[in-house]
A = this chain, B = another copy of it.
Amino acid sequence: MSLEPVAALEALLFATPEPLPPERLAELLPTLSGEEISAALASLKARYASPASGLMLDEVAGGVRLATRPEAAESLARLAIVRPSRLSRPALETLAIIAYRQPITKAEVEAIRGVNIDGVLRTLGERGLIRILGRKREPGRPMLYGTSRAFLEYFGFQDLSELPTLREIEALVAPSQASRPAEHAPREEPERAAPTADSAAGPAAAVPAGSGSDPVPEESG
């Protein structure tokens, strides 16, 4: 007995913890056409949109997976699921530079941050958020770093073009402006912004960073 396409898709997504890209879905569901798969995805998405659903279709890192809805987070709190600790500020800064400027060498990152990043690089490597892309053709042949697919999953991006464009900081250029928009204010306070920071609402606004200064290399997986 065979299931409806949408059911087969759901079972597949349930059984696979990592996001499945469209090609994989097609391989895994060889009896379905591309359109049928798209239709099944749309139908699952619609079904999960109901307030009776605890699940959602999580579109991330070029693929799709099942995940719990953010609203369910409180209900899951008692599960005490172990997760990696939040990234430190230095790690985030380093990661941001690598993400926007990849491929980039350690020395180049250090030039931007103004500090040594050995320890931070190690952490990022061990957490699988960055990867080594090769070596730069220059004296000393330093290693080149870039972000990994795990980076996309960790931050919930489909691909690098979803990174928000780098913003200039009007606040600093025009210091007297009293009413500067909060999210543009340089943060000095050590504490994190509220969990649901609006500035993070990004993807919609994501313009693929244009000009030569913000290369957005494709993930090669």
Partner-B contacts on A (CB < 8 A): 1-4, 6-18, 24, 27-30, 43, 47, 51-55, 66, 68-69, 71-72, 74-76, 78-79, 81-91, 115-116, 118-123, 125-129, 132-135, 141, 143, 148, 150, 153-158, 162, 164, 168, 171-174, 186-187, 189-208, 211-212, 214-221
Contact = CB atoms under 8 A, between A and B. Distances in A.
Nearest to A126: B212
A216 B153 contact: yes
A76 B9 CA distance: 9
The 5 closest A-B pairs by CB, nearest first: A11-B54, A10-B54, A11-B72, A128-B215, A119-B206
A116 B202 contact: yes
A143 B9 CA distance: 47
Nearest to A187: B82
B198 A83 contact: no
B216 A128 contact: yes
Contacts of A54: 3, 6-14
Given A12-B72, A115-B200, A116-B202, A191 B85 contact: yes
B207 A123 contact: yes
A192 B86 contact: yes
Contact of A168 (B86, B89, B143): B143
Contacts of A72: 3, 7-8, 11-12
Given A116-B200, A208-B85, A7 B52 contact: yes
Given A82-B187, A125-B173, A4 B52 contact: yes
A88 B150 contact: no
A193 B155 CA distance: 20
